[in-house]
Amino acid sequence: MAPSSLTLPTVILISILSLISPSQSASCTSQSFTNNRLYSFCNDLPSLNSYLHWTYDPTQSTLSIAFLAAPPRPDGWVSWAINPTGTGMVGSQALIAFREDNGGMTVKTYNVTSYGPLTESRVWYEVRESSAEFSGGVVRLFATLVLPERGRESLNQVWQVGPSVTGGVPDKHEFQPENLNSKGSLDLLRGESTVVTGGGDSRMKKRNIHGVLNVVSWGIMFPVGIIIARYLKTFPSADPAWFYLHIFCQVSAYAIGVAGWGTGLKLGSESKGITYSIHRNIGIALFSLATVQIFALLLRPKKDHKYRFYWNIYHHSLGYSIIILGIINVFKGFQILNPAPKWRNAYIIVIAILGGIAVLLEAITWIIVLKKKKSSKSTKPYGGGLNNGHGRQEPLDP
Ligand SMILES: *[C@@H]1O[C@H](CO)[C@@H](O)[C@H](O)[C@H]1NC(C)=O
């Protein structure tokens, strides 16, 4: 989430940082390709003298790559792979380029399940097109892949070179340190590849903190605070406790929510090239509505003021909008963060319980109100939730 007001300073800051940091030192930046192939990013991979160029479109989940490496011998092979389940060779979904018996270069896919001989197979991603060239001792492997998961921001990559191919099957590679360290994670959107030592961890942590803060605040505390206000005030004995509880709950929810919102802005500004616009816009709307609600407290007319009726309408409709948008945005967030299903299910259970409590209290409220109406004709029924519990004191009223 990054409102446009933040975009300009962020852009300026990033431009300054990129001027300072030595990002131009990579030698891949001087490599170019025939057929006007251009890529958004490139990396000098940390071992085996290899290079990766790529363009990633997160909305289409397409990843176009050019992988450059020199096989130990001209008849050898080079490979670039994604490991969707782990970090090393086993489990990797590999593209391997080598020269076929007919003399042409080919690219084949392999689901690498063990250290044994490879057999060509389907892989985790779809290969839209692939080709390879060999010149100057270097193989250039080109491919356009469609990843099965949308919105991926990073991948575990593995690359390798091997000396020979026998009968169309790539033979095993050396087991030198260079060959064993040729793996890492690739930040698809920021153009960085890091050696596997838990690089993407801090970002993951930030995303989880963002998720927890916002689910607790917008997804749980705001609805609880509204349930307190709507239903507890029906019980004369809960007065004025409900009012303080309501204020306490909503002000804490707001504080946590603003913290969660801030982490969202930070994540949004760090995620170049991918914008979750609906999630972001709902987040901005929620923050604005909640801020107005907090100020509404200060602007509240006295209970018998003629504008109090309109204030109630406005306060209640904003409150209900916040519940609805809050819950929608929590689910949007689950879609983006994609945590283990148990978290989403746990939240659904919490919301269902809150909903159940609300339905029950709604029924009780109606019974109480109808009884009151019978016993005293002068008391209006507690109806659509827009009037303000006549006959009850609100402690902040002077
Ligand atoms: C790769 O092989 C493993 C083990 O046989 C299998 O579980 C997995 O589904 C395969 N992946 C693909 C994309 O076919």
Q: Ligand 1 centroid to 96 CA: how many Å?
A: 17
Tokens (6 digits) for 222: 């705001």
Confidence of residue 26 (pLDDT cuts 50, 70, 90): low
Nearest CA to ligand 1 atom 3: 113
Q: Ligand 1 centroid to 110 CA: how many Å?
A: 10
Nearest CA to ligand 1 atom 12: 123
Q: Is the CB of 122 under 6 A from ligand 1?
A: yes
Residue of 82, 92, 52 lying closest to 147 (CA atoms): 82
Residue of 356, 368, 358 lying closest to 234 (CA atoms): 368
Q: What is the mean pLDDT of residues 8-27?
A: 40
Q: Ligand 1 centroid to 84 CA: how many Å?
A: 11
Q: Is the CB of 119 under 6 A from ligand 1?
A: no
Nearest CA to ligand 1 atom 7: 113
State yes or no: pLDDT of 2 exceeds 80: no
3-state secondary structure labels for all residues of the chain: CCCHHHHHHHHHHHHHHHHHCCHHHCHHHHCCCCCCCCCCEEEECCCCCCEEEEEEECCCCEEEEEEEECCCCCCCEEEEEECCCCCCCCCCEEEEEEECCCCCEEEEEEECCCCCCCCECCCCCEEEEEEEEEECCEEEEEEEEECCCCCCCEEEEEEEEECCEECCEECCCCCCHHHHCCEEEEECCCCEEEECCCCCHHHHHHHHHHHHHHHHHHHHHHHHHHHHHHHHCCCHHHCCHHHHHHHHHHHHHHHHHHHHHHHHHHHHHHCCCCCCHHHHHHHHHHHHHHHHHHHHHHCCCCCCCCCHHHHHHHHHHHHHHHHHHHHHHHHHHHHHHCCCHHHHHHHHHHHHHHHHHHHHHHHHHHHHHHHHHHHCCCCCCCCCCCCCCCCCCCCCCC
Q: Ligand 1 centroid to 90 CA: how many Å?
A: 11
334 vs 151, higher pLDDT: 334
396 vs 289, higher pLDDT: 289
Confidence of residue 43 (pLDDT cuts 50, 70, 90): confident
305 is in an annotated binding site: no
CB atoms within 10 A of CB 278: 13
Q: Which residues of 32-42 are buried (b: 16+ CB within 10 A; e: fewer)?
A: eeeeeeebebb
HSE-CB of 106 using CA atoms within 13 angstroms: 13
Confidence of residue 120 (pLDDT cuts 50, 70, 90): very high
State yes or no: pLDDT of 387 exceeds 80: no
CATH 2.60.40.1210 domain position(s) in the chain: 25-197
Q: Among the atoms of ligand 1, which is closest to the Cα of residue 93? A: 13
Q: Ligand 1 centroid to 75 CA: how many Å?
A: 28
d(CA 363, CA 346): 26
Residue type, 64: S
Q: Is the CB of 120 under 6 A from ligand 1?
A: no
- Tell me which of 56-60, 139-143, 249-253, 386-390 is least confident: 386-390
Q: What is the mean pLDDT of residues 251-261?
A: 95
Task: Please report where in the chains the tokens 């609300």 appear, as a residue.
Answer: 358
Q: Ligand 1 centroid to 111 CA: how many Å?
A: 6
Q: What is the mean pLDDT of residues 59-72?
A: 92
Please report the pLDDT score of residue 200 as a whole number. 45
Residue of 76, 291, 73 lying closest to 165 (CA atoms): 76
Please report the pLDDT score of residue 233 as a whole number. 83
Residue type, 256: I
Q: Is the CB of 56 under 6 A from ligand 1?
A: no
Nearest CA to ligand 1 atom 10: 111
Pocket test for ligand 1, best of 90, 92, 111 (most atoms within 8 A of CB): 111
CATH 1.20.120.1770 domain position(s) in the chain: 202-373
Q: Is the CB of 113 under 6 A from ligand 1?
A: yes
State yes or no: pLDDT of 8 exceeds 70: no
pLDDT single digits (tens) 124-133: 999 999 999 9
Residue 95 · residue 124 · CB < 8 Å: no
Please report the pLDDT score of residue 10 as a whole number. 43
Q: Among the atoms of ligand 1, which is closest to the Cα of residue 122? A: 14
d(CA 259, CA 263): 6
- Tell me which of 178-192, 242-256, 301-315 is least confident: 178-192
Residue range 202-373 forms a domain whose CATH class is mainly alpha
* Dihedral sign from CA coordinates of 224, 226, 229, 232: negative
What is the chain's mean pLDDT, rounded?
82
d(CA 174, CA 181): 12
Please report the pLDDT score of residue 335 as a whole number. 81
Q: Is the CB of 124 under 6 A from ligand 1?
A: yes
26 vs 92, higher pLDDT: 92
Q: Among the atoms of ligand 1, which is closest to the Cα of residue 124? A: 13
- Tell me which of 205-209, 218-222, 286-290 is least confident: 205-209
Residues in CB range of 94: below 8 A, 6 or more apart: 79, 80, 81, 109, 110, 111, 112, 118, 123, 158, 160
State yes or no: pLDDT of 28 exceeds 60: yes
**Does residue 240 have a cis bond before it (omega within 30 degrees)?**
yes
Q: What is the mean pLDDT of residues 186-196?
A: 68
CB atoms within 10 A of CB 81: 27
The CATH architecture of the domain made up of 25-197 is Sandwich (2.60)
User: 50 — phi, psi (to 5°)?
Assistant: -120, 160
Please report the pLDDT score of residue 374 as a whole number. 85
pTM for this prediction: 0.49
Angle at Cα 384 formed by Cα 358 and Cα 350, nearest 5°? 20
316 is in an annotated binding site: no
Q: Ligand 1 centroid to 112 CA: how many Å?
A: 8
Please report the pLDDT score of residue 284 as a whole number. 95
Pocket test for ligand 1, best of 90, 113, 125 (most atoms within 8 A of CB): 113
State yes or no: pLDDT of 382 exceeds 50: no
173 is in an annotated binding site: no
State yes or no: pLDDT of 197 exceeds 60: no
Tokens (6 digits) for 206: 């930030």
State yes or no: pLDDT of 64 exceeds 90: yes
